[in-house]
Amino acid sequence: MKDPIGGHPTRGEQLDVLVQIVADLANPGDAVLDLGCGTGYLEHLLVARRDDLVLTGVDRKGSALDEARERFGERVTFAEGDLTEPAAIQIPGRRFRFVVSVLTFHDLTDAQKRATLSWARDRLSDDGLILIYDRIRLDQPALFPAQQAIWRRIERVHGAAMRTADSFAAYEADLSDTNRPARLDDYRDWFSGLGMASQVLHLHGNVGLIGAAPQ
Ligand SMILES: C[S@@+](CC[C@H](N)C(=O)[O-])C[C@H]1O[C@@H](n2cnc3c(N)ncnc32)[C@H](O)[C@@H]1O
């Protein structure tokens, strides 16, 4: 399966990191819930590494799910659901060892992110792990020029550009309800409020993989 978000310079490596974590830690038959699964690219990577896991994907986009169902048949459960109303999402009632989300949380407001994490925590097994892979909100104007240098380096090394901005003011002006990455500190506070320890597991530019586990 071709990556539907091809051209993203850091995604290939970071998805590989995420998949490695799941592949190394999962026990046979463990369940994985993917929030904002799209057409199922992460499921494709997971099945290739661990064909013994029970996979469920949620997305609000019916056409993406139709494509995913056609590709995976009964191998993966795909449920249509909106993360802005997680309580209404119909998924199997089991506990999930992993709840993951890839490049989706920036589409939610902070209140929705927090509510989704709380909902996910309620469905996580006691030895479970939440893995959120998304852009991190930049909130330090004094460090913005350094961030821009990193973007330029990524473009030089990978030959592909990330979502950038010419100035901190332009970056902030570009924020909206569908482009609202959370701050690292916010993730830490939200997870802490859910009784979870959290840590940045991998960071490339301003795109991070955050892991959280019940304490
Ligand atoms: C950038 S795509 C990433 C798709 C997939 N995770 C991947 O990496 O290939 C973001 C996905 O999040 C989904 N999404 C955005 N907001 C959502 C919401 N409120 N509820 C459910 N899905 C949502 C979109 O439909 C889209 O499929």
List pLDDT tens digits, range 72-105.
999 999 999 999 999 999 998 889 999 999 999 9
Ligand 1 geometric centre to CA of 89 (Å) = 14
Rounded (10°) angle between helices 110-122 and 184-193: 40
Give this prediction's pTM: 0.97
CB 130 within 8 A of CB 124: yes
CB 202 within 8 A of CB 17: yes
Fold category of 11-137+178-214 in CATH = Rossmann fold (3.40.50)
pLDDT on residue 161: 81
**Cβ(104) – ligand 1 distance below 6 Å:** yes
Q: What is the mean pLDDT of the chain?
A: 96
Band of the pLDDT at 192, cuts 50, 70, 90? very high
Q: How confident is the model at residue 158 (pLDDT cuts 50, 70, 90)?
A: confident
Please say if the pLDDT value at position 177 is more than 90: no
Let me know: does 78 contact 40? Beta carbons within 8 Å.
Answer: yes
DSSP helix/strand/coil, 33: strand
CATH 3.40.50.150 region(s) of the chain?
A: 11-137+178-214
Is 82 a pocket residue for ligand 1 (Cβ < 6 Å)? yes
CA 39 to ligand 1 center in whole angstroms: 9
* Residue 215 scores a pLDDT above 90: yes
- Rounded to the nearest angstrom, the distance between the alpha carbon of 67 and the centre of ligand 1 is 14
Segment 34-41 shows an average pLDDT of 98
